[in-house]
Amino acid sequence: MTVSIMLDPSVYETAKRVADKDGIQVGELVADLVRRHAAMVDAFGDIANDQVRFDIDNYDIRREPGESDAEYADRVALFR
Amino acid sequence: MRAGDFVWSMFPFDDAPESPGPARHVALVVAVASPNALMRSALGGRATDIVVCLYTTSRIGRFEAELPVGVVPVSLELARRHDQQVPFLIDTRRRAFLPPTSNFFPDIGAANGGVIASIEAQLFSRVKEAMKRVNDRHRHHITNAGPLRPRGT
């Protein structure tokens, strides 16, 4: 889906400068910012409720005794 | 409780995925996850581990002749080696993300922590392979239950 959004010229200028630095389009930059902000809002909501849902970026899978590096890596990959 | 343990659980049902299920059920633990350093610092002393379990069932006739991808059969002989008296199925498509509390693990306070048996390495490898196959090619068949399941699932 394609939508248009209104940006203050100075905000657009900043967005364009940062996007150019990263070698991406302004639209990609905005999408990335929205996704990251949404994830942060969700995480803080979880923290407020004392229940942080599983996310491999927030949790470490406990390694079991006798598990080799390769076995552990394979098991962690199951949750990505 | 650790990965590879068969444990007594109140595995949540699909119609109430946040709540303990109505009956005791054997589940297979595939991971115990702890909040990482960032989460621990954000949560302070309230950081909680998550036990990730798979559903098992002794209703081995519930599927047609061919088992769906992700369902691992355990023969009677193999079941007996895991302190269970009937053959059963491990459904790697049906997963639960649970806090290690007595409402989800009724025997967690017992000396053995509610652990029935630990899985043999070869069978655990089959289970992990089945999980991977489901993740890679049949992700839409996964159902996640439990109050700590990933957001949006």
What is the DSSP code (8-state) at residue A56?
A: T
Residues B126 and B54 sit within 8 Å (Cβ to Cβ): no
pLDDT for A34 equals 86
Q: What pLDDT is recorded for position A5? A: 87
Element spanning A61, H or E: strand A59-61
Q: What is the DSSP string of chain B?
A: --TTEEEEE-PPPTTSTTS--SS-EEEEEEEEEEE-HHHHHHHGGG---EEEEEEEES-GGGS-SSPPTTEEEE-HHHHHTTT-SS-EEEEEEEEEEE-SSTTTSTTTTSTTTTEEEE--HHHHHHHHHHHHHHHHH-GGG-EEESTTSPTT-
Closest residue on chain A to B3 (Cα): A64
- Mean pLDDT in each 10-residue stretch from start to end of chain B (153 residues)? 95 92 94 88 76 92 79 89 88 96 94 91 95 94 93 76
For an interface test with B, the pick among A46, A59, A60, A64 (most B C-beta atoms closer than 10 Å) comes out as: A59
How far A34 CA lies from chain B's nearest CA (Å)? 17
Element (H, E) at A60: strand A59-61
Q: What is the ipTM of this complex?
A: 0.86
> Distance between CA atoms of A4 and B21, rounded to whole angstroms?
46
Q: A14 in helix, strand or coil?
A: helix
pLDDT at A52: 76
Contact pairs from chain A to chain B, CB under 8 Å:
73
pLDDT grade for A58, boundaries at 50, 70 and 90:
confident
CA–CA separation, B146 and B153 (whole Å): 10
A47 vs B contacts (CB less than 8 Å): 42-43
Q: Is the pLDDT of residue A80 over 90?
A: no
Q: Output the pLDDT for position B93.
A: 96
Tell me the average pLDDT across A41-65. Answer: 79
Could you tell me which residues come within 8 angstroms of residue B134 by beta carbon, excluding any fewer than 6 positions away? Answer: B69, B70, B92, B93, B141, B142
Indicate yes or no: CB of A52 within 8 angstroms of CB of B52.
Answer: no
Q: Residues 6 or more apart from A74 whose CB is under 8 A from it?
A: B128, B132
CA distance readout (Å), B53 to A6, A40, A79, B12, B24: 46, 27, 12, 11, 14
Distance (Å, rounded) from C-alpha B10 to C-alpha B18? Answer: 11
* Mean predicted confidence (pLDDT) in A46-61: 78
pLDDT digits (tens, 9 = 90+) for B35-61: 888 877 777 766 789 999 999 998 877
Q: Which of B108, B1, B121 is nearest to B51 (CA)?
A: B1
